[in-house]
Structure 1
Amino acid sequence: MSDGLVLRVVSDGPVTDEELAEQTRHLKDHLNQVPGVEATELVEKAEPGTRDPVSTIFGALTLAVFTYPTARRAAADIRHLTEVIKRYQERNKGKRLRVSLPDGTEIDVQDVSEKTLTEVIKSVSVPRQGTPPAVPQKVDGE
């Protein structure tokens, strides 16, 4: 499995692999529009003796969220990312999103607030090596 953040599309009813793959690609496209975020379909090594060197796991995306800008990647707007995830959940009734953290913890997106989801994503975001720590931004009222 992945050692990063995994986002799974889970259906409340019967669904074909094709339908699940289509829903997942649609979500991936939306997530990849958020600067500083890289969503890719989760793949794993195929069983020995099969022709495919890798297999796609239907309904699962790995999510890399970058906290520091680099020449090729902007720092993620985690609040915007959270909104994309929550809106997807609202638009696709009968489908739930589940976040798997590197430590094995799984969170059903439907059960958490945007604020909590934002904090979870921040906790597993990927700092770029060799980049100085982020400068805290001033919040209104400080």
Structure 2
Amino acid sequence: MGRNRRSRTPSNPKKNQATDIKMRRYKRDMDQIHADMKDQGASKFKEDLAKKDLEDIPGLAQHTCVACCRYFADAVSLETHLRGKPHKRRLKKLAEEPYTIEESRRAVGLGVDKGEYGRKKEQELKDEAERVKAGAPEATMEA
């Protein structure tokens, strides 16, 4: 008795569909929503609505949750959503300030004080620039 024949398909076809499904459900990132919340989301939602057909949006886009970037069919479903746990979790995440570009650069090490060695190099560059301005001949290195 031998073992069962292996499947001849090279990979799982559902794996290939996973990224498509993710992008279909994609709404907006947290930093984008945080920017929307500053002006109550009026400008962003108007821009998004101009791109979409109102007939395709639930409730003709009358009942919206700006924090979750969702549309609801009626006021009752919006109220239940506002009382729900996922909405409250999203509000808690949005209460934190998102990272800025400067913070991310500092985390990598760009724009950070380099300590004594960096200060010494900066001082040498300043001295060199002052010597050039004064017209003094540059020191030549002899081997």
Please state which band the TM-score falls in when normalised by the shorter chain. Answer: under 0.3
Higher helix share: 2
Higher strand share: 1
TM-score using structure 2 length: 0.26
